C-alpha cells in the first residue's frame, strides 16, 4: 500500500474510505462506498471526472450490471430454460437481492448500488474500460449452500423465500451495517452472522475473488496500458480486498477458478438410492409378509402422502389444475429418482400453460413487494410453484415413510 499524506489525497477522496495499493506496475485506488449514500455517488462521479484513471473496476457481476442499467433485461429471460437447467435457486437468489434493493430504494429514496451504476456510466461516457470484478450472486449462493448441512440449506432456502415475500421496512441497524458493509451481507445478514461458512463465502471469499480479478487486469496483455485503476467497492470489502491485493502470491487465474468452482458431488446419489431401497423394500416386504392387502395399503399410503402434499403445495402456489395434477402424479415417483424433481416438473407445466408475458417480467420487481403480487405475477407464481411443490413433496416423503414404518413394525 502506498502511504499518502493529507496534502497528497485528492479532494474527491477526502472523507471517503479508501486504500491505495501498488502492485506489478499498477496503482489501484480502492474507493469504499456505501450502497445507500448519495455522497458515495458524488465521490464516484468526481473521481472518474478527475481524468486520472485509465480504467474503472466495479463490485458488480454481469447480471447485476444488466439489472441496474437495463430495465428490460428481465423480459429477455427464458424462464423455462432456467427451470430445465436447474438454475431456479440462482434465479431466486438474484430475485431476493432485487426485492431487498427495491425495499431500500422505496424507504430511503436512494437506489441501492447507484454509485456502482454511476461508475459504469461515467466510465463509458469517457470511453474508459470497465471491469466487472465481483462473482455472480447465484454462484455465491450455491457455494454457500454447498457448505451447509441439510438443515442449514433448509434454513437458507426458507430465509430466501421469506426475503422474497417480505414487504416490511428495513430496520435502522441493517441500514447502518449496509452503509459500512456489503449488499449481499445485508440481504443474507441473519445467516452470515450465525454461520461462519456463509460469512466466509459471502464476504471473505469475495474479497479474495475481487483482488484476483483486479490482478487479472494487469496480466491481460490487452490492458497493459492500464496503470491507474479506480476500483469502486462496498466499504466492507476495503480492508480484506486491499490485503489480498497486496499479499496474494497464487496466480490470479488459479484463484478465480478455485473460487468459481463448486464442491464436487458424489457421482452416486446415495441418499436417493437409500430412500428408494427403503421404500421399494417396504412395499416388497408388505406384499410378501402381509399379502396383497398390506402391500396395496403401503403403496396407497405412500402415493397419498407424497401426491396429495405435493399437489397441495402446487395448489397453494395458485397452480393451474393441470399443474396440480402433474404434481400429484410425479410426487410419489420423483423422490426415488435422482434426475427428477416434482417442483421442477410442476413449475415447467405451469410455465407452459401460463406463459409469462413481457408485462409480467416488467412488473416483477414491483409485484414481489406484496403478497398479492406474488400470486398475480406469472413469473413469481411459477417460482412459488417450484418451492411449494418441492416442499410439499418433501414433507410427504417423511410422512409417508413414517406411516410405512409404523405399518411394518407396528
1 in any annotated domain: no
Torsion of CA 36, 40, 45, 48, to 10 degrees: -120
Question: 222: which 3 cell numbers?
Answer: 490487452
Question: At CA 377, angle to CA 374 and CA 379, rounded to 5?
Answer: 95
Kindly state whether residues 195 and 344 are assigned to the same domain. Answer: no
Does residue 193 share a domain with residue 226? Answer: yes
- Do 304 and 209 fall within a single domain? no
| DSSP per residue, 354-398 | TPPPHHHHHHHHHHTTSHHHHHHSHHHHHHHHHHHHHHHHHHHHH
Per-residue DSSP letter, 169: P
In the block, which residue shows the cell 485506488? 29
pLDDT of 3 = 43
Residues 243 and 299 reside in one and the same domain:
no
Between strands 55-58 and 26-33, the pairing is unpaired
The total number of structural domains in the chain stands at 2
Select from 260, 294, 313 the last residue of a domain: 260
| Predicted local confidence at residue 327, as pLDDT | 96
Name the domain boundary from 200, 233, 260.
260
pLDDT in tens, 275-316: 888 888 888 888 887 788 888 888 999 999 999 999 999 999
**Count of other CB atoms within 10 angstroms of residue 144:** 25
Give the pLDDT of residue 142: 80
pLDDT bucket at 2, cuts 50 / 70 / 90: very low
Residues 230 and 277 in one domain: no
User: Could you tell me if 123 and 195 lie in one domain?
Assistant: yes
pLDDT at 132: 95
Percentage with pLDDT > 70 across the chain: 74
Note the pLDDT of residue 120: 95
Least confidently predicted of 38-42, 131-135, 161-165, 337-341:
161-165
Angle between helices 205-219 and 137-146 (to 10 degrees): 130
Q: In this predicted structure, which of 86-95, 180-189, 224-233, 265-274 has the lowest mean pLDDT?
A: 180-189
Domain span including residue 377: 270-409
φ, ψ (nearest 5 deg) of residue 364 = -60, -50
> Is residue 265 included in any domain, yes or no?
no
Same domain, 156 and 228: yes
Residues 195 and 337 in one domain: no
Confidence category of residue 109, pLDDT binned at 50, 70, 90: low
Alpha carbon separation from 210 to 7, 244, 247, 303 (Å, rounded)? 29, 9, 13, 49
64 part of a folded domain: yes
| pLDDT confidence of residue 212 | 96
* Same domain as 290, residue 189: no
Do 135 and 48 share a structural domain?
A: yes
**276 in the same domain as 136:** no
126/81 same-domain check = yes
Q: End of a domain among 260, 290, 325?
A: 260
Q: Whose grid coordinates read 497464487?
A: 250
Amino acid at each position: 500500500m502506498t502511504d499518502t499524506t493529507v496534502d497528497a489525497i485528492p479532494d474527491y477522496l477526502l472523507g471517503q474510505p479508501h486504500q491505495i495499493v501498488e502492485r506489478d506496475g499498477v496503482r489501484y485506488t480502492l474507493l469504499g462506498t456505501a450502497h445507500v449514500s448519495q455522497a458515495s455517488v458524488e465521490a464516484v462521479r468526481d473521481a472518474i471526472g478527475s481524468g486520472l484513471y485509465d480504467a474503472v473496476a466495479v463490485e458488480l457481476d454481469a447480471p447485476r450490471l444488466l439489472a441496474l442499467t437495463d430495465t428490460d433485461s428481465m423480459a429477455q429471460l427464458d424462464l423455462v430454460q432456467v427451470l430445465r437447467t436447474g438454475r431456479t435457486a440462482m434465479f431466486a437468489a438474484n430475485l431476493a437481492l432485487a426485492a431487498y434493493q427495491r425495499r431500500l430504494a422505496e424507504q430511503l429514496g436512494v437506489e441501492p448500488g447507484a454509485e456502482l451504476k454511476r461508475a459504469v456510466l461515467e466510465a463509458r461516457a469517457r470511453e474508459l474500460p470497465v471491469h466487472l470484478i465481483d462473482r455472480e450472486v447465484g454462484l455465491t449462493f450455491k457455494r454457500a449452500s454447498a457448505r451447509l448441512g441439510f438443515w442449514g440449506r433448509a434454513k437458507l432456502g426458507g430465509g430466501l423465500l421469506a426475503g422474497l415475500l417480505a414487504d416490511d421496512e428495513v430496520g435502522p441497524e441493517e441500514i447502518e451495517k449496509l452503509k459500512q458493509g456489503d449488499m449481499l451481507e445485508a440481504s443474507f445478514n441473519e445467516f452470515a452472522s450465525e454461520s461462519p461458512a456463509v460469512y466466509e463465502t459471502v464476504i471473505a471469499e469475495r474479497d479474495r475473488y475481487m483482488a484476483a480479478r483486479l490482478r487479472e487486469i494487469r496480466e491481460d496483455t490487452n490492458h497493459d496500458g492500464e496503470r491507474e485503476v479506480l476500483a469502486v467497492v462496498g466499504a466492507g470489502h476495503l480492508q480484506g480486498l486491499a490485503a489480498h491485493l497486496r499479499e496474494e502470491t497464487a496466480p490470479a487465474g488459479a484463484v478465480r477458478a478455485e473460487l468459481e468452482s463448486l464442491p464436487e458431488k458424489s457421482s452416486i446419489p446415495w441418499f436417493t438410492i437409500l430412500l428408494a431401497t427403503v421404500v421399494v423394500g417396504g412395499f416388497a416386504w408388505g406384499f410378501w409378509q402381509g399379502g396383497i392387502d398390506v402391500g396395496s395399503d403401503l403403496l396407497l399410503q405412500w402415493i397419498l402422502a407424497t401426491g396429495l402434499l405435493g399437489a397441495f403445495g402446487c395448489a397453494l402456489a395458485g397452480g393451474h389444475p393441470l399443474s396440480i395434477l402433474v404434481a400429484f402424479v410425479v410426487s410419489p415417483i420423483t423422490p426415488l429418482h435422482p434426475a427428477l424433481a416434482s417442483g421442477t416438473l410442476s413449475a415447467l407445466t405451469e410455465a407452459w400453460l401460463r406463459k409469462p408475458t413481457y408485462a409480467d417480467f416488467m412488473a416483477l420487481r414491483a409485484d414481489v413487494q406484496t403478497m398479492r403480487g406474488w400470486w398475480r405475477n406469472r413469473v413469481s407464481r411459477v417460482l412459488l410453484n417450484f418451492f411449494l411443490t418441492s416442499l410439499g413433496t418433501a414433507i410427504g416423503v417423511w410422512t409417508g415413510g413414517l406411516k410405512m414404518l409404523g405399518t411394518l413394525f407396528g
